[in-house]
Amino acid sequence: MPSRRAILAGAVAGTAGLSGCLASAFERTGSVKRYVQQKTIKGWPRDGANETVLDVAYDDREERVTGYVSEQWSDYVDDPDQPTISEALHEELHQTYEHVWYSMGVCSEQWETGDSTGCQNDFTDRENFNQAQVHDRVKASYLEDKEHIEIHDVIGTKAKPSPE
């Protein structure tokens, strides 16, 4: 079985591939001009590759939020573009998969460096995942040693997505 670090690295790389915003990891705190750029849930069965349960991101080309929920879990999610994960779904995921990982991407102009886009994608818990939706402006922090994004407060919406 692969190490936790190898699995985590694969999950983060996979999430970054969807969002294109994996930044170098270091302490990132504060609250100005941050917004949620993506949300993802992946599950790892005992005997297989990871499966995407849910993925929501802001599509720059379409200028709108687009959500995907695996058909297996679609009855549990009312709005794929603004998902919240119920306790029932959370429990069902943990019964189905050996590992379940929630991840979020948070971007900030303040986090930009010469070689970084200003986004940090990493793991979070169900409560943080549910607290903010893609394109919400947030007060958030990330600490590398915890490998965890925390949402402290939702303070609005980055911009209104275009109507469909």
Domain limits at 74? 32-157
Return per-residue pLDDT of the chain as tens, 164 residues: 444 444 444 554 444 443 333 333 334 444 445 789 999 999 999 888 899 999 999 887 888 899 999 999 999 999 999 999 999 999 999 999 999 999 999 988 776 655 656 788 899 999 999 999 998 999 888 777 778 899 999 998 765 544 44
8 inside domain: no
3-state secondary structure of 118: coil
69 inside domain: yes
CA angle 64, 59, 88 (to 5 degrees): 80
53 inside domain: yes
98 inside domain: yes
20: which DSSP letter? S
* pLDDT number for residue 141: 85
Is residue 113 within 8 Å of residue 21, measured between CB atoms? no
Q: What is the pTM of this model?
A: 0.73
How many folded domains does the chain comprise? 1
Is residue 155 within 8 Å of residue 132, measured between CB atoms? no
Rounded Cα gap, residues 164 and 159, in angstroms? 15
Identify each DSSP E strand in the chain by its residue range.
Answer: 34-44, 51-59, 64-69, 99-108, 119-124, 136-143, 148-157
74 inside domain: yes
